[in-house]
Structure 1
Amino acid sequence: MQISILKTKNLNSKIKKKIFSLKKQSWKFNISEQKKWFIKNIGQNDQHILLEVKNKLIGYNCLRFNKIGLIKYFLLDTIIVDNNYRYKEIGSLLIFYNKILSELYNYYIFLKSNTQTKKFYIKNNFKIISKNNKKLFFLYGKKINKITINRILKHAKVEHSK
């Protein structure tokens, strides 16, 4: 298994195509729509973690850089594992590398997800910081306090709900 961590600006068209093809297994959007979304929403310095076996992308996730005043966090935007490799701890391996980046940069990791993934994120040491309807909001990092939680939630609801 080969693990790569690349910034957006270092992703070539071949790697992007692999990412979009993998995402197509779970998302209903076609490649063209994914490209448009990617260009609009992913920054040049955002981090991409890629897991490959024999040159096939089997796991991927993206961490988007965000900052509110002195509070820095990654938005865990996408995490996906190839259908043939599910239930083999590939998702937890991706999260492990997310945590390394979080500690290296001293950033929190924030994500919103549905209730179906609750056990996965709790197992990987994320804390539920808010819930509404069928959405859960998770945070990972050191020194989590109410001020940090409120600022990230407020920022995330404004910036990432578009």
Structure 2
Amino acid sequence: MGLPLSQSLPSRRRSWLLLPGDEGTHRVVIPSCPQRAGAEAGRGDLVHNDAHPGNPLPDPTSSYGYVLTDWEGACIGPRELDVVLVGAPGSRFGDSDERLAFTSAYGYDIAAWPSYRTFRDIRDLHSLAAYIRTGLHKSAALTELQRRASSLRDNNRTIRWTAI
């Protein structure tokens, strides 16, 4: 599968994304993720697929006090899809205290899964897509795209990302 590269990033800043032989297209190869311990083969759960602190919105009519928004990526899959953005050590969306609070509330620590780093890095790269699409039209999205791309390229996990 190919995604034409946007002009949101100058060529010198996006060349590190290309696999050898790609001509203006970024190919992403995602290995199959192993089933978590105790899960039945081929069985998944309902996952939000974009769980981060910006998606719950206060709602006094909800019995939980909030509603979860941004459901366009919802799917049946491994719960690691929801947990990895905030719950993985080295998350770009918060600090270690937030990670521990999230993990405790969710009831699962993704750090116990041996492949969490690979999955976390895939999700980080995937998160560039929306900003690549909107960066030319929204200056805040372009700024966030540049921050994310720079921190990925430099392998700098101290840079915190924000949802725009």
User: When the two structures are superposed, what TM-score results if normalisation uses the length of structure 1?
Assistant: 0.29
- Larger Rg: 1 or 2? 2
Structure richer in strand, relative to its length: 1
Normalised by the length of structure 2, the TM-score is: 0.29
